[in-house]
Structure 1
């Protein structure tokens, strides 16, 4: 049998790092969105720390 060429092992890093990073970003975004909804499905009121935009 032939051995794989050495170039093949140095082409690109394994996908596990980028996949884990992507899943972490998705989890963070989903958590942020779910925190805006209560258990009965209604939207939670916005925090008072944000000021509404004033019309010009």
Structure 2
């Protein structure tokens, strides 16, 4: 299994917190704080999911 190094969470007042991480090979990952075991990788699907989350208001503090 890939060992991911997570950065400090990005949080907004009253919003979900997201974490961004990388592995030893330089791949990128994003997850909701507390659900790091259900991460997305730096793929088209990850970008689509992030856009859906932003539209739903879950990540508006990242804009």
TM-score (norm: length of structure 2): 0.24
Larger radius of gyration: 1
Q: TM-score, normalised by structure 1?
A: 0.27
Higher helix share: 1
Higher percent of residues as strand: 2
Pick 1 or 2: higher relative contact order, CA cutoff 8 A, min separation 6: 2
